[in-house]
Structure 1
Amino acid sequence: MTLLIALAISIGLLAVVATFLFLGPLAALNVQIWQAFIAWASFFHNGGKTDGALKTVICMSFGAVVGMASVMLAGHLGGLGALAAPVAVGIGAAVIVLAAHVPQLSTIPSCVYGFASVAGLILLKGTAPMDAIVPTIVSIALGTAFGWLSEQIAGKLTKSA
């Protein structure tokens, strides 16, 4: 079986499992399936395997912390009026890019995925910033784990053909 077919099977089946878990048994933890899917995609974007998993968890989690801090900063920049949020986001973006000098934080897109994930949870669901960070990081870790598992299953399906 080709790798693409094997990935289609493993990702398709695991997407069913992940969605069931996130919308059912794990829902009380405020974990978000959309954040997990972003992490899952980031895992493959980062080349998969252990290195891709580490880059995803580290960079997305860092980005989520920067995103949370940016939302909190925007609240403290109220005197800037309509510019408070844009200035806070600009500072956060600059921090992410500058942090890329650290090899573990050098995958800027994955950092941005994390930033967007926590900001989305805060802004779309009205979750307080400090209440959003842990579920976001847990969702990132779970999504990365599903990415790793889908890669493993696809590898076994490819080898068995």
Structure 2
Amino acid sequence: MDLITGLAVVIGIMGGIATWAAIIIGNPYLLIWAVFVGWGSFYHCGGKEAGFKNSAVANLWGAVCAAGALIALTSIGVTAIMAGICVGISIVVLILAAKLPLLSAIPSAVYGYATTAALFLLGAAAYGEGVGAITKVAAAVVISLIIGNILGYVSEKVTGAVVKA
């Protein structure tokens, strides 16, 4: 079996099982869409142990930057201009941190940032109000992204075994 076919079969089966498990578990800290973003981020960073580390750390960093922007924005007062300022400053910080090798996977940091901001904008009410809610949103995203990175790592190993067989 070739690599693409192996990846399609393994990730298809694992993705189906992950989706089923997320629905059965029904936990607000397990977001299947964010799991898939983390999974893709793992492969985007080249896979293997280095890809896992780079992706997971950058995903976390992006979520932290987004949470910081959201906390600042909700503390100052939400207006269009303040939203632009808070996002702009946090993105400068997010990208400048890429000068550190551990935080150099800028696209993966953006995945963490975007998924955190999206969950806050679309579903924050489910997590409560204020700083505590923003922290819960970021935690839900980070947990899901890390699970996705783990599934990426496992799917890479399983695919390697299937393709060799």
TM-score range, shorter chain: over 0.9
RMSD: 1.2
2:105 to 107, 112, 116: 107
2:140 to 121, 135, 139: 135
Question: Does the aligned pair in 2 maintain the 1:75–1:84 contact within 8 Å?
Answer: no
Give the match's secondary structure for 2:99. Answer: coil
Distance 1:37 1:81 in 2: 32
Give the match's secondary structure for 2:162. Answer: helix
**Once the two structures are aligned, what percentage of the paired residues are identical?**
34
Aligned residues: 158
TM-score when scaled to structure 1? 0.94
1:1-59 Cα deviation digits (max 9, x unpaired): 1000000000000000111111222x224221111111100100000000111111100
Structure 1 portions without partners, runs of 5+:
none
The match for 2:130 is none
Question: Does the aligned pair in 2 maintain the 1:59–1:114 contact within 8 Å?
Answer: yes
1:52-63 equivalences under 5 Å are 52-63=51-62
The match for 1:14 is 14
Distance 1:122 1:29 in 2: 13
Distance 2:23 2:66 in 1: 24
Give the match's secondary structure for 1:24. Answer: helix
Letter in 1 for 2:3: L
TM-score when scaled to structure 2? 0.91
Question: Does the aligned pair in 1 maintain the 2:29–2:143 contact within 8 Å?
Answer: no
